Chain A
């Protein structure tokens, strides 16, 4: 149930009125934290609302949803409140929705400050690069326990990489979770298990070629679908200590990256492929060809939270095996990833490795 636009001063009383109304009596009000969501893009808001819904089914909380639209010239500030229901269970949460024009954004920190729930964590779900938002983020970072942000909209990766590293240095007490980094956590764990011996690690390090296929489905949010693929590549390059020597882009948007591993030069190709059944940006397959002609192919299994791994040489094929790949559409995996998983030094290493990737 949602109110029409209300006065800022009436936020708490309107929420109380909604709770007291007949429709809400069957639901339990619960709150474990405050989740402040921000997006400057109304298209992206739909995507973030889906994340919010998945979030509250596991972690009921007060939502403060802030949407701005820098492209609109109009001067406006609208506030409304609603009760969000946590799916099948009878748990419901407050939502305060703030829509503001660029000129009014400076008022938003003052509006939301009294409505942050005391004593409980404050999480920021940021629909853009947090290093570029200079009004709300600086005001909230002192209170926030964690910033979860979506890097899909970032065009200039090198600049983002430098800014993010600087932010991590300056905000040592604030956890940062890049959702695209979280989305490839299952792939990183799978690759770690595939190349889990000295021999296989060496085969990866001195490979002669890698192909990473990713889903370039257009989801209408204007996001860069190759981000996860680039993150994975950057992570491999950082951990395997490869050096980027060149890059080019082919007509069909395939991107080729040339690396050297001090033994040989090799190419990593990012190949777009469209799969309507999977989210935009999802990794579809990773193929590694080692210098000694061992071929590794890792691809997700249809409708199962697993990847299938095929390892073969020119003479023989090993029996394929599966590894878990958490389904981030399922609530508990998503929540664990964005709320509880720590961001390791590998993330910083990856950021440094992609510092020289061309902007989109």
Chain B
């Protein structure tokens, strides 16, 4: 009787502190002539190459409709990387070597012959570069193309049946938005899961690749002092802000269809909410972490009809001043209906019905053309029960822990100190940790981390299907309500201010106010 052979254990492999090693693969970027490829994806790939994080056997193929040679595409990407890379100047020797792994494939998204040719080309690359048949397909296109492209990929055997093929893999990265409401998200999910297993789908939300967002878990779960007070006994309320000073730019067409709730709240803000509110996972594997995030989404109290009218605020920017320069209103932007009711600002008050957070309001806001760019989570702690230091006229300031996601990444804690001297004066002060001050040069960009993780098969930092659906189930009623009830006061905040007055009143009626950032 022959005994089954034991799996090979490499005696040269050291299993400590191992960085993720991405497997050999080819990345095909659909929509390669678009803005995202030039501004984010290729600079990310270049920096991964610079740091030795790209697999030894690697190639990148840009797939788009325009006529272009490999050399043309390489030259364009060289210019893009030179302009947008976080590390400059470009390393000529490295680029020369890296560019030999960049190719271009022209085809329409619905052209069968184009996919056939792509398949043959990728197989040729497998032979030349030993990429072992592994594939990442990055769909940097309009969401409406996702089902078509995935169907074609499956039809032409560019994506594999995950159950049947074990010696090579294929993965698809999908950019947000995943659907535009719950039914379209469900429909999209149904379409793509005809051809792909959930394990092959990587829904990208680039916020999850940010160092400071990843630090949220480390901060919470490696500092027991904070985890001990991270609950409704000590926390008064939490504010999550995603503020942008830019307007919609040239994306009028997109914005008229999407609006801010779909563009920012449904994904980025909900991700921050789930990370700040989640329970400790049982381990740091993708499944365990994502399970806890989904629980947060499911614990959010659905918004009633009355809540939709009172706990959700929308706004649209009017003309104003940003950084001293005049800025036009939303309705004056290019490709925007001059009578548009699309929101460029939203604020919500949510409750989580969980043991940890019962009774704690979560105030979320996001907006365009606000006074400054800032993304942060502010945790307001309850004030002291006694009034030792409260005077008749002045209350003690509450402690506030602020996690700054961008810019000026860091964490600060506001606390109270006695002013030196004979009197009993109390002064709030801040303990401040800044990434830039302590860790020097810029950390990897979000897309670098996310692309590397996808190549390594780690989907921790990608949104899972049930997470996405849960946030759509929560927010679709808001979209429906807004569609049914037109706002009477649009535009209702000047550019360069912190949003409509109604957003301030949302907190003021609870005796609170938005943190001045």
Contacts and interface: CB of A to CB of B under 8 A. Distances in A.
The B interface is mostly helix, strand or loop, or mixed, namely loop
Given A198-B8, A332-B51, A340-B17, A306 B56 contact: yes
Given A195-B10, A201-B11, A304-B93, A319 B130 contact: yes
Interface string A319-360: 101111111000111000000111110100000000000000
A201 B441 contact: no
A240 B511 CA distance: 71
Interface string B80-124: 000000000000011001000000000000000000000000000
Given A198-B8, A331-B441, A322 B128 contact: no
B440 A57 contact: yes
A216 B16 CA distance: 31
B12 A239 contact: yes
Given A319-B128, A325-B52, A192 B14 contact: yes
A192 B13 contact: yes
Contact of A346 (B14, B56, B439): B14
Contacts of A59: 439-440
Contacts of A30: 437-438
B15 interface: yes
B207 to A, nearest CB: 23
A69 B216 CA distance: 48
Could you say which interface size class chain A belongs to? 35 or more
A26 interface: no
Given A57-B440, A58-B440, A321-B130, A342 B16 contact: yes
Nearest to B13: A192
A170 interface: no
B40 interface: no
A28 B441 contact: no
A192 B56 CA distance: 14
Contacts of B52: 305-306, 324-327, 333
A32 interface: yes
Interface in B126-179: 128, 130
A321 B53 CA distance: 15
Given A201-B10, A332-B51, A89 B441 contact: yes
Which of B57, B436, B440 lies at the interface centre, i.e. has the most chain A CB atoms within 10 A of its CB?
Answer: B440
Given A201-B11, A340-B17, A342-B17, 9 more contacts: A32-B438, A57-B441, A58-B441, A59-B439, A197-B8, A201-B8, A239-B11, A305-B52, A344-B16
Interface of A: 28, 30, 32, 57-60, 86, 89, 91, 188-189, 191-193, 195-198, 201, 236, 239-240, 301-306, 319, 321-327, 331-333, 340-344, 346
26 contacts: A28-B437, A30-B437, A32-B438, A58-B439, A58-B441, A60-B438, A89-B440, A89-B441, A91-B440, A188-B12, A189-B14, A196-B13, A197-B8, A201-B10, A201-B12, A302-B93, A304-B93, A305-B52, A306-B56, A322-B56, A324-B52, A327-B52, A332-B51, A341-B16, A341-B17, A344-B16
